[in-house]
Amino acid sequence: MKISVIIPTFNAAGTLPLVLPALCQQQLLSGWEMEVIISDDGSSDATLESAKNILIASRCAYQIVVHPHRGAAAARNHGIEVARGDIIFLLGADIILLPGALAAHARLHIDQPAPQVAALGMVKWDPRLPASAYMEWMAHGGPQNDFDALLGVRWADPARFFYGSHISFKRSFLGKMRFNESFGPYGWEDLEMGRRLATQELQLGVLHNAVGLHHHRSSFRELRHRQFLVGAGLVQYQRAYPMDVLIPRASRWSRVRRWAFLRLGGRQIVRYCLPMCSAPWYFSLVTRAEFWAGVQKMS
């Protein structure tokens, strides 16, 4: 059996020296082989040179696909087109696999040989980059990928948890289906793919023992902008599925808080409400404000 690990890259020279060695050092099960596919989305830094040098030194079988900058969906699609493996493994360019992660995916596919069974691995913040309080909140209660909801769970809803940063599925089940390349710069293209695959009865197994470390320290400003893009992208997602309620209804109080944050600014609100208000309350206010600003922008 062969597993094709597809890594979409865009200016990822800073993280590949950590990601690729950890990947190439994974222990494969007997009879399995791996190929690494770098699908570069028009990088302008040393991504390609760095990837090639590391993969050659690691003696990993690899392919490098280069194409103009069009986003993560297009990068994944280009990688899928050239993949030769029975199993497609999607990995983020800033996700460092811990030992045993790849083998855990392989074991699930051996134990569950049905074409419709896929596997989702866990993602945690890399402790080498201490997470800020806001980053921790985003991952444990905020709108970051909701892995906490999967604690103790064996199977997950693909429409909600088809996370493209650490997931594997059988190529035969995918067929000609591909990621929707019309989505914008951030998010929703993987969950939209999961929604389509769910209609084909995809089953998504949860691998708690397959862990990847997210090596990306985001600033408060970056995470705020991310939430704006999430809101903008969700409008497009909703238009693709008009019969489903994907955008939550904003209460009057939500609209008031959004107006207050955008008009008054975060610092003034902090000065007014702290210490009366908790940090999670403020974090929630910030993310909701940016999210609804993105929704309003695209509506």
CA distance 291 to 238: 14
Q: What is the pTM of this model?
A: 0.91
CA distance 287 to 247: 15
CB atoms within 10 A of CB 251: 9
Question: Residues 174-232: pLDDT tens digits?
Answer: 999 999 999 866 679 999 999 999 999 999 999 999 999 999 988 878 888 888 888 88
Question: Residues 26-36: pLDDT tens digits?
Answer: 999 999 999 99
Question: Residues 126-140: pLDDT tens digits?
Answer: 999 988 888 888 888
| CB < 8 Å & 24+ apart, contacts of 124-127 | 124/211, 124/212, 124/213, 124/214, 125/213, 125/214, 126/96, 126/213, 126/214, 126/215, 126/216, 127/213
Domains of the chain, residue spans? 2-214, 220-298
- Statement: 2-214 belongs to CATH 1.10.10.10: no
Question: Residues 140-161: pLDDT tens digits?
Answer: 877 778 899 999 999 999 999 9
CB atoms within 10 A of CB 141: 13
